[in-house]
Amino acid sequence: MGCWATSFNLHLKAPSRVSVFFTMIVLLTYVFYCLTGFCDLTPIPLHERKPTFAQLHQERNASDKRDLLAQVTEEETTRLPGDLFNLSVSDSFGTKEFPQAIIIGVKKGGTRALLEFLRVHPDVRAVGAEPHFFDRFYDKGLEWYRNLMPRTLEGQITMEKTPSYFVTREAPGRIFTMNRNTKLIVVVRDPVTRAVSDYTQTLSKNPGLPSFQNLVFKNYSTGLIDTSWSAVRIGIYSKHLENWLRYFPLSSLLFVSGERLVTDPAREMERVQDFLGLKRLVTNKHFYFNQTKGFPCLKKPEGSSRPRCLGKSKGRAHPHISSDVLYKLRDFYRPFNLKFYQMTGQDFGWE
C-alpha cells in the first residue's frame, strides 16, 4: 500500500511540472502583448484612430499644394521644374472655368503688354497663347475652349486675349452666347501709328512686301485709301464697336489707351483692376521704363535674375514713311476717330 502511494506521487509530479512550464509561457506571452498594446479587444472607431506617418505626410503635401497654387502666377508656373510644376497643374486643385474677362483687341495696340501686366496680379489666371476660339476654332465646341483655360481657385478670375476678336463679325454673338456678363477689354492706339506698326511686323516676316504707300492707297494721286487692307481696316474702331454694341452694353467694355499704357502704365492698370473688380495690387512699384525698347517693363521679381520685358518682336523700329502719306491717312481716320470718341465717351487725343 505504501509502495503504491509512493509510485502515484512520482507519476503525478512529472506532468505537473510540464503544465506549470507551459502555463508560465502563456502568461508571459499575454503580458508581453498587453504591454505592447495588442491585447485590447475593443475596436477603435475610424474617426478616433490616430493617423499614420504616411497619412500625415500625404495631408501635409496636399496643404502645401493648395498654398502653392494660390501663390504661383501663370508666368511663374511655366518656369517651375519637375515635381513642383506637377503640383501646380494637378487635377486636384482648382477648376477650369470659362473666362470672365477677355482682351478682345486690338492687334498692335498693346494687348500683350496689358496681359503680362495683369498676370502679375495673384487673382488673375490667364492663357498664355491666343486661343482664337471665337474666330477660328469655334466649331471645336465650348468644352474644348474651357479645357484650354488654366485652373483657378475661388476668388481668382480666368482671362484670355485674342486681338482679332474685335474685328471678327461673329465674335460678339458667340461670346454673348457663352456668357452675356463677360467683361471685354479693348486696347486702342492711334490708328495711323497702329497701321504702321502692323505693316512693320508683316514686313519683318516678309521682306519682299510692297511699300506702305503702295498698300495703303488705291490711288495715291486722288488720296483714295484702300480699306480692304487689314492694316487700315482694323483702325476704323467705330465701325467694329457698332457690332459689339448690338450684343453688349457699353458698361461691359473697357477701352484702354495704348499710349497711356506706355507713358503711365500704373494709372492705366488702376482702371483695368477696378473694371475687373480686383484689388489695386499692380502699382507703380512694378514698372520701370526701358529706354532701349521705348516702353515699360516689369521690375525684377523676387527670385528672378532679371526683369521681365516683352520679347524681341516688341518695340521694332518703324520704317520711314513720308509725312504726306501719314497726313492723308490721318485725314482719312479723323471722322471715324471723332465718332469713336463720342461712342466711348473718351477723347484719346489722336488728332
Whether 9 has a pLDDT exceeding 70, the answer reads: no
Query: Residue holding cell 529706354?
Result: 291
Residue 125, annotated ligand binder? no
Whether 201 has a pLDDT exceeding 60, the answer reads: yes
The sign one gets for the Cα dihedral 159, 175, 238, 250 is negative
> Among this protein's residues, is 300 annotated catalytic?
no
Whether 152 has a pLDDT exceeding 50, the answer reads: yes
Alpha-carbon distance of 147 to 95, in angstroms, equals 10
Architecture of the 67-85+92-190+234-318 domain: 3-Layer(aba) Sandwich (3.40)
What is the greatest pairwise CA distance in the chain? Answer: 154
Residue 314, annotated ligand binder? yes
The domain segmentation of the chain, as residue ranges, is: 67-85+92-190+234-318
Whether 246 has a pLDDT exceeding 60, the answer reads: yes
With beta carbons less than 8 A apart as the criterion, state whether 217 and 224 touch.
Answer: yes
- Candidate from 61-70, 161-170, 296-305 with smallest mean pLDDT: 61-70
Closest CA to 183 of 262, 118, 108, 265: 118
* Cell (9 digits) for 339: 465718332
According to the model, what pLDDT value does residue 25 have? Answer: 72
Alpha-carbon distance of 86 to 77, in angstroms, equals 9
Residue 318, annotated ligand binder? yes
- Candidate from 45-59, 250-264, 285-299 with smallest mean pLDDT: 45-59
Average pLDDT over residues 321-340: 97
With beta carbons less than 8 A apart as the criterion, state whether 346 and 260 touch.
Answer: no
Residue 109, annotated ligand binder? yes
Each residue's pLDDT tens digit, 32-68: 555 544 444 434 443 334 444 334 344 444 444 334 3
With a pLDDT cut of 90, the percent of the chain lying above it is 65
Whether 28 has a pLDDT exceeding 90, the answer reads: no
According to the model, what pLDDT value does residue 294 have? Answer: 77
According to the model, what pLDDT value does residue 316 have? Answer: 73
Annotated active-site residue in 107, 108, 161, 328:
108
Pick the residue with more confidence: 67 or 320?
320
Alpha-carbon distance of 247 to 37, in angstroms, equals 72
Residue 111, annotated ligand binder? yes
Alpha-carbon distance of 15 to 157, in angstroms, equals 85
Beta bridge partners of 308: 298
What letters, b where the CB count within 10 A reaches 16 and e where it falls short, cover 78-93? eeeeeeeeebbeeeeb
Whether 211 has a pLDDT exceeding 60, the answer reads: yes
Each residue's pLDDT tens digit, 61-118: 444 433 434 333 333 333 322 222 222 333 458 999 999 999 999 999 999 999 999 9
Orientation angle between helical segments 111-118 and 265-276, nearest 10 degrees: 70
DSSP codes joined into one string, 55-90: HHHHHHHHHHHHHHHHH--HHHHTT--HHHHHHHT-
According to the model, what pLDDT value does residue 69 have? Answer: 40
- Candidate from 75-79, 200-204, 281-285 with smallest mean pLDDT: 75-79
Residue 316, annotated ligand binder? yes
With cut-offs at 50, 70 and 90, classify the pLDDT of residue 290: confident
Residue 112, annotated ligand binder? yes
Residue 277, annotated ligand binder? no
Total Cβ atoms within 10 A of residue 162? 23
